[in-house]
Amino acid sequence: MCIFGAINQAKPLGRGIIYMLIAAFAFAWMNLLAKYLTDFHPLQVVFFRAFGTFVFIFPYMVFKKIPLIGKNVFWLSLRGLLSFSSLALFFIVIQRIPLGSAVALRYTAPIFSVIFAYLLLKEKVKPWQWVAFIISLIGAFVMKGVDFRIDTLSFAMIIGSSVLVGAVFAIVRYLGSREHLLTIINYFMVFSIVGSLFFMQHWRLPIGQEWYWVCSIGVLGLIGQVFFTLAFKLAETNTVAPIKYMELVYALIFGYFFLNETYGLLPIVGMSLVVFGLLLNVWIKRKG
């Protein structure tokens, strides 16, 4: 109680930073569980992730009379489909390559987000932003070139996942002022649940303690989503967005202690280039 009291008494900026740290921590644990549940089909893990969030969000939306369908059905459905596809690819890759590598490579998503926003929403992009993105892409290819645990198929799938996330970001930006946040999130959950059901022939029932892990993955996803949203409501994007990259630090720590994953100098250099390029982009945007 004392901790929560201290957080509530902090200034909005401080709370925004704390909330983003909590969100990154929750997402990191969720990714660790997705990696840990290798005995389950990746699309079954997607189901656990989506259903665990849906059972909390849907009743709340009904109680608060938040629109379930929304007005922009096409864009909401496209967002749901792309988000489901991206998450499925991500969870497949998590089970194939080191956790830290998967998280780092998926951080190339903002590059594609800006590209889609430029093409679809006509948002301006500064020349130095393109330089920052090139640095991040170089880092991604350095990781692929020096870490032989990252096979070509996995690399293609994780970059594909990032491209889809980038498209989702642009769509969410478009829908942001037109639809309720929970309506947008709920489409993601529904499409993920329905889409994952097509792979039921590959599923199996959890046994014993596995029920705890499969339930936790959905709860952690919900916690991450809630605190992620709160962080952006309380502080400027340019302030809290870089803190999201703590998720990679958590992933490296968790991978080392729980999965015995280690990295050489060159893969770390590649990861650093990815993050540096994205942080440089945030700094460039902040400079106006």
Among 2-11, 50-59, 273-282, the range scoring the smallest mean pLDDT is 2-11
The per-residue pLDDT for 228 is: 85
The per-residue pLDDT for 4 is: 45
Higher pLDDT: 1 or 95? It is: 95
pLDDT tens, residue by residue, 247-285: 999 999 999 999 999 999 999 999 999 999 999 988 887
Contact 189, 84 (CB under 8 A): no
pTM over 0.85: yes
Mean pLDDT, range 116-141, rounded to an integer: 91
Domain spans of the chain? 13-287
Q: How far apart are CA 194 and CA 182, in angstroms?
A: 18
Phi, psi at residue 83, to the nearest 5°?
A: -65, -45
CA distances from 238 to 65, 251, 278, 279, 287 (A): 33, 23, 11, 9, 10
CB proximity list for 105: less than 8 A, separation 6 or greater? 140, 143, 150, 155, 158, 159, 162, 274
CB proximity list for 198: less than 8 A, separation 6 or greater? 43
The per-residue pLDDT for 12 is: 58
Residue 6: pLDDT over 60? no
The C-alpha angle 175, 181, 183, rounded to 5 degrees, equals 90
pLDDT tens, residue by residue, 227-244: 988 887 776 666 677 788
Residue 61: pLDDT over 80? yes
Q: Percent of the chain at pLDDT above 90?
A: 73
**Average pLDDT for the chain:** 90
Contact 220, 247 (CB under 8 A): no
Higher pLDDT: 232 or 151? It is: 151
pLDDT tens, residue by residue, 68-120: 999 999 999 999 999 999 999 999 999 999 999 999 999 999 889 889 988 88
